[in-house]
Amino acid sequence: MKRRDFLKVTSSTTLAMGVGLYACTNVSKFKLDLVPDNKRLRIGIIGVGERGNGILEVLQNVPEFKVVAICDVFDYRMDAAEKRIENEVKRYKKFEHILDHKPLDAIIIAVPLHEHYRIAMAALDCNLHILCEKALAYSIAECQEIKRKAKSSAKLFQISYQYQLNPMFQTLKELIDRGHVGQITRIDALWDRNHNWRRKLPDESLVPGVDRAELERRINWRMYKEYSGGLNAELGSHQFNMIDNLLGSHPLKVMGTGGIDFWKDGRDTFDNVHMLFDYPDGAKVGFHSGTTNKYEGFQLKIYGKKATLVSHNMSSAFIYPEDDSLDKNWKEEIDSVTGASIKIIDNDKKRNIKPVEKNIAYPSDNFMYNATWLLYKNFAAAINGTEELKLGIEDGYRSAIAVHMANRAVRQSEIVNWLPEYDV
């Protein structure tokens, strides 16, 4: 690929991240480090459903961790999880019991949202390092209590917002931080799908004696307000986290709408949400998530005074400069692509963004897998004292508050403000 065929970003932050989705071409060079067993961190996983098993797959390429215990309410899930673990592992049905497992250094919380609070608080009492799936907790009050307790703990508390570790995201942030986009006045975030979000129930033989109606609610917990924050928590939360990071602040207020307008199947979380956030300095942020059309999928559109950034699925991105932004400094630092473009943009204005390649060997050619891998590698390194923790309790708290503000706004049809008491 010729030099003119990609936009090159060479700042220290980018290089320090080992940035490059296209470094995934080095998958063939990936080697799994050997870590002596007595040096491995002993970790337990609470919740080994779909997400928990996905985490186990990632941990196969993070030898710094040794999974020594798993916990789930369903035996069939633990049966599947055990097949991914090479060493002997202890099984528990109750989270209180796995927290008492000795020895244990850290815990992963991968259960439905409504259970996060009591597990996180108990794990903090047990003096364990914690990696918790998003969002942080089910309510603002629970989030506040977790944050206060985590801040007073000597242990680490990380939140699974792995998209921030994606090399493409780091490159977009660099472009913004170096002034190439100018003052950001608007961001549009989308996460659209075209299916009912419903999971198939396990065969009755795998869960004998469990009422099927009860089982349906437990398996499809994301679709019920009793357990879930719906689309804002499960999808929007990732976007809110990235936007907070790009703008360097949390939202000041939010309004929105949504409804159960298509899937009339007994759910009580909305099948579409449309949110509008106000940020400091006048930036307006829109978030949309729906379940009936996947055309735009997962996107982030960032509108600045000098240029517009558009990222598709965090695996590709383009920059569209404004006519008056092509100053001398810009021309010296950025090369452009003149190929095909979307209809509303002239072909000579579209620039393809690719992170700087570096000799990084990833375990996969799947960028989402690699981002999660980077998250767990950082968690292990931070526990061992060789890296600063990324995506800690502050990231998790701020994004969770935005989730709960958004849900209140859409459910109660009101403008919801960030209150001073949220700054704990």
* Average pLDDT across the chain, whole number: 88
The pLDDT assigned to 366 comes to 86
The pLDDT assigned to 327 comes to 55
Q: Of 118-132, 168-182, 311-325, where does the model show the most confidence?
A: 118-132
The pLDDT assigned to 166 comes to 87
The whole-number average pLDDT for the span 114-142 is 98
Query: In this predicted model, which residue has the larger pLDDT, 337 or 204?
Result: 204
Give the whole-angstrom CA distance, residue 70 versus residue 48: 7
H helical segments located in 269-349: 328-333
| Secondary structure letter of residue 5 according to DSSP | G
**242: exposed, middle or buried (C-beta count within 10 Å: 0-12, 13-18, 19+)?**
buried
Give the whole-angstrom CA distance, residue 245 versus residue 250: 9
Q: What kind and span of H or E run contains 216?
A: helix 212-219
| Secondary structure letter of residue 232 according to DSSP | I
Tokens representing 139? 């309510």
Query: In this predicted model, which residue has the larger pLDDT, 276 or 14?
Result: 276
Tokens representing 390? 């990324």
**Superfamily for the 164-362+397-422 domain:** Dihydrodipicolinate Reductase; domain 2 (3.30.360.10)
Q: What kind and span of H or E run contains 106?
A: strand 106-109
What confidence tier does 21 reach under pLDDT thresholds 50, 70, 90? very low
The pLDDT assigned to 277 comes to 98
- Three-state secondary-structure class, residue 326: coil
Return the percentage of the chain with pLDDT > 90, whole number.
76
Strand partners, 256: 275
φ, ψ for residue 284, nearest 5 deg: -110, 130
For the segment 346-393, what is each residue's pLDDT rounded down to a tens digit?
455 677 777 765 667 889 888 889 999 999 999 999 999 999 999 999
For the segment 133-161, what is each residue's pLDDT rounded down to a tens digit?
999 999 999 999 999 999 999 999 999 99
Q: Are 358 and 11 in contact (CB under 8 A)?
A: no
H helical segments located in 33-93: 50-59, 75-82
What region does 358 belong to: left with phi over 0, alpha with psi -120 to 50, or beta?
beta
Cα-Cα-Cα-Cα dihedral sign, residues 153, 154, 159, 163? positive
The pLDDT assigned to 351 comes to 74
pTM: 0.90
Write the CA distances from 265 to 8, 196, 268, 273, 294, integer angstroms.
49, 9, 9, 17, 20
Q: Are 69 and 90 in contact (CB under 8 A)?
A: yes
Cα-Cα-Cα-Cα dihedral sign, residues 241, 268, 73, 139? positive
The pLDDT assigned to 260 comes to 98
Name the least confident of 17-31, 259-273, 281-295.
17-31
Strand partners, 190: 288, 299
What confidence tier does 331 reach under pLDDT thresholds 50, 70, 90? low
Kindly report the CATH number that applies to the domain delimited by 30-162+375-392. Answer: 3.40.50.720
Domain extent listing, the chain:
30-162+375-392, 164-362+397-422
Give the whole-angstrom CA distance, residue 378 versus residue 390: 7
Q: Is the pLDDT reported for residue 4 higher than 50? A: no
Q: What kind and span of H or E run contains 273?
A: strand 272-278
The pLDDT assigned to 20 comes to 33
Q: Is the pLDDT reported for residue 308 higher than 70? A: yes
Name the least confident of 187-196, 289-298, 325-334, 335-344.
335-344
The pLDDT assigned to 315 comes to 84
Same topology between domain 30-162+375-392 and domain 164-362+397-422:
no
Packing angle, helices 50-59 and 367-384, rounded to 10: 70
For the segment 207-218, what is each residue's pLDDT rounded down to a tens digit?
999 999 999 999
Q: Is the pLDDT reported for residue 192 higher than 90? A: yes
The pLDDT assigned to 332 comes to 53
